[in-house]
Each structure stands twice: as structure tokens, then as C-alpha cells.
Amino acid sequence: MRKEELLSILRDPEFQELAKNVTKVVTTFTIIMLVVYYSFILMLAYGKDFLSTPICSSCATTIGIIVGIGVIIFSWLLTGAYIWWANSNYDPTVRKLREKFRR
């Protein structure tokens, strides 16, 4: 790519906005995942009794099983949420910018 072309993309407000947005969204999603997982770990370390409680008085299923399976399902849904964001925000902007600079 030529230098001027590169600079014009870098100076483009829409590109700068995109870069800022992506960083913000990606950081938020990462932090959510870290918080969920490490809360689970801390719960295992400090809340064993709570996780060992059955979900009802006659049940064998414990809260821990629900929470554990919940973390797995949540992780997957979170990747789905990111896809949804990227498809509706990231991709259209990328397409627009690439058309604008004919690349």
C-alpha cells in the first residue's frame, strides 16, 4: 500500500471510530468472560457449601452442577453475542471503509 493511502485511512474519522469501538467491545467481552470464570473459581474455593446444596430438598442435583453447566453454556452464548455484534456493526463498517478506499 502507498504511504499516502495508508495515512488517509489512518486519518479517516470513521476508521478511528471503528478501531476504538472494536477495542472497547473486545475488551468488554474479555473482561466479562474473565469475571464469570474466576468468580466460579473463587466460588469453588470459598463457597463450597453453597455449591454443594441441592436445588430442592428432595433433589440430588446440586447448585454446583447447575452453575458449572451454566458456565459452559454461558461461554458459548457469549461467543454468539460477539458474532451478533460483529455481524451487525463491525462487518458493515469494514465493508463501507473498504469501498471508500477501493480496497
Question: Which residues contact another protein (rule: CB under 8 A)?
Answer: 1, 6, 9-10, 15, 18-19, 22-23, 26, 29-30, 33-34, 37-38, 40-42, 44-46, 48, 51-52, 59-62, 64-65, 68-69, 71-73, 75-76, 78-80, 82-83, 86, 91, 94, 97-98, 101, 103
The CB density around residue 60, as the number of other CB atoms within 10 Å, is 8
Give the cell for residue 1: 500500500
Q: Are 39 and 70 in contact (CB under 8 A)?
A: no
Q: How far is the CB of 69 from another protein (least distance, A)?
A: 6
